[in-house]
Structures are given as C-alpha cells and as structure tokens.
Structure 1
Amino acid sequence: MTQTLSHINASGEAHMVDVSEKDITVRIARAQAFVEMSSDTLELILSGKHHKGDVFATARIAGIMAAKKTPELIPLCHPLMLTKVEVDIEAEPDNNRVRITSLCKLSGKTGVEMEALTAASVAALTIYDMCKAVQKDMVISAVTLLEKQGGKSGHFVHNPE
C-alpha cells in the first residue's frame, strides 16, 4: 500500500485537507519533550529561587496557550475547538532533565497531534528561555508523539523499539 502526503494535492502543491466529510469522533493525543540541563540549573528551578519566578508554572501556561494557537503557527493546520489541554512537567534529577508531557482532546473531524506536539515543544522552549541566563547549553530533545486515539487511523502508541 502506497502512502501519500495528505497536505500535497495532485499538482504537488500544498493545500489544507478537506475534512468536511469525516465523522466527528473523540480525538486524543499525547506528546512529550525533554529539557536536559545541569544539576545546578535544575536545583535552581526546584528550589523556587529562580529570579524569573515559577519556571514550571510559566512553561505549563505557555504550553496550553501554544496548543490553542497551533493553526497560527503551523501552516495548513485546522483551527480546532479543543476541549482539554493538559501540560505536566516532571523533574528527573537522576538524569539532569525535565520531562514535559502534554495531552490534547476534542470531539471533531481531525486529530490533535500537532496541538499536543506544539504544547510540549513550547513548554520546553519556555523553560529554556527562562533559564538561558544561567545556562545556555541546555538541550531540548525527544519531542515525540506518544499516543493518538480517534479517527479512521485508529489508536497509535509510540513504541521506541
């Protein structure tokens, strides 16, 4: 079976996919990102002594806002009526990193993968932005779609093997 790119028409031009004939289903997507940093930077965040305030709370809000703005950031994405956006941030001190997970949900005709990926990415970028004054060599990595449910393609779960 040959797969085709959905955002390219028969003439090879980019276009927005017509979803008007698709069924409305509950759609859920989960994504993740990591921000790797020094133990000193992570301790500064966790101790609450960062001069810019609560880094995780700010990143969480940024991720939620970004999910809602995805069609303004990513060309050809449909504007969606999101019913849930959740961004969780967990410190992993043993690995000198922070793990960000996002969940986006709606009842609609198109998936929410890009919104979940955008939420995780922008939350990671916000952590970087707030901490770059103390460490410029942080690394954002493993921006990954973890799971997607709903729609005709069914249920997908990322399997790293």
Structure 2
Amino acid sequence: MNSPADNRFTHLDANGQVCMVDVSSKPETVRQAIAEGSIFLGPKVFPLLLGGSLKKGDALAAARLAGIMAVKNTSQLIPLCHVIPITAVEIDFSPDHQRLTLNIKVMVRAQAKTGVEMEALTGAAAAALTIYDMCKAIDRSMVIEKIRLVQKSGGKSGNYTLGATAPSE
C-alpha cells in the first residue's frame, strides 16, 4: 500500500489505472472527523429560516436529515470511497447574525480501517445544499462557502487540526 511519503497517487495502480486503495491490512481504529461549511442567506432568508417561517417547512430539520443521509451514503457518491460503518453523526447549526450566515458543523465517528473525512465533508455539503433548496424560492443569491475539514483523528496519519502548524498528538 502507498503511504503519503511515497509521492504517488494512492488511487492509481502501478500501470496508472484507477483502483480502490486496499485497506485490508490496516487495523481498525476509532476515526473521527469534523467538517464545517456555511451558507450566506442574506437579509430576506435569514430571519425566515431562524423564525421557522419557511413555506417548505423546517429547513434545519431537513438539512440535518440530509446531512446524516449523505454521511451514510458517501461511498455511493464519491468514487473509490470505502463503505464505512458509521457509529455517530452530529450536525450542528449556528447562526451568524452579523454576516447573515448559517454555519454548519458535522462530526462523524466510526471504528474502521480508513478515515471519515469524506463523510464529514459530504454531510456538510448536503446540509448546505438542502438549506439552499428549501430557501431558493425566496432568494437565489445565497452562497455556500468554506466547506472544509476542521479536524480528524485516528489512523496511521495521526491527528489533524485546521490551522495547526504541526500534527497534534
């Protein structure tokens, strides 16, 4: 199996053909990832979303459910992702009243042979897209922003925290 230090793409075999990474020899460890994103809602949508006044219903509940479903189905959406037995998903929303933005935070945990970063990122994207879908009749100028990995732990590569200068242990 290739390691990041090999300077090769792990999803290409020796002949340059696309392949799924073989993780069968890796030990199962507790893996966790946190991703975040945000959606700028603007002055029309922001108060309606927070007040629960959308004609389509509870957008936050729908977005939470969409995020969880996306986490569970990441291997069907992202080519070459492994099916991972997810053990926990938490999705939190926090409004930024100054910026008229809704912040989305997704935590995913599993006991697995490979990480859950893609699952957390996919969950954040799906939650943001669901908010957009449920609010687009009011204002289509909403902007989904900064979907990114914030933190990950577990596995051979160790821990990662966004903005940290060295791997955290």
Give the TM-score range, shorter chain: over 0.9
Residue matched to 1:94: 98
- TM-score, normalised to structure 2, is 0.92
- Which of 82, 89, 92 is the aligned partner of 2:86? 82
Q: Deviations over 1:57-102 (max 9, x none)?
A: 1101100010000000001000010000111111111111000000
Cα separation, 2, equivalents of 1:114 and 1:95: 27
Contact preservation (8 Å) 1:39, 1:93 = no
CA contact (8 A) 1:100 1:124 kept: yes
**Where do 5+ consecutive residues of structure 1 fail to align?**
none
What is the one-letter code of the residue matched to 2:151? Answer: E
The CA RMSD measured in Å over matched residues stands at 1.3
Moved over 4 A (4+): none
Q: Give the residue type in structure 2 aligned to 1:153.
A: S
Deviation for aligned residue 1:132? 0.5
Cα drift, residue 2 of structure 1: 5.1
Q: Distance in 2 between matches of 1:13 and 1:144?
A: 28
- C-alpha spacing 1:4/1:119, structure 2 compared with 1 (3 Å): same
Deviation digits for residues 120-157 of structure 1 (CA, Å, limit 9, x no counterpart): 00000000000010011111010100011000000000
Distance 2:164 2:31 in 1: 22
Aligned-residue offset at 1:160: 8.1
Partner of 2:47: 43
Rounded to whole Å, the distance in 2 between the matches of 1:146 and 1:2 is 25
> Unmatched 5+ residue regions in structure 2?
none
Q: Name the SS for the 1:145 alignment partner.
A: strand
Q: Where do residues 51-130 of structure 1 align in structure 2 (5 Å cutoff)?
A: 51-130=55-134
Same amino acid, percent of matched pairs: 45
Query: How many matched pairs?
Result: 161
Equivalent AA in structure 1 for residue 148 of structure 2? T
**Equivalent residue for 1:32, pick from 21, 29, 36:** 36
Residue in structure 2 matched with residue 146 of structure 1 by the alignment: 150
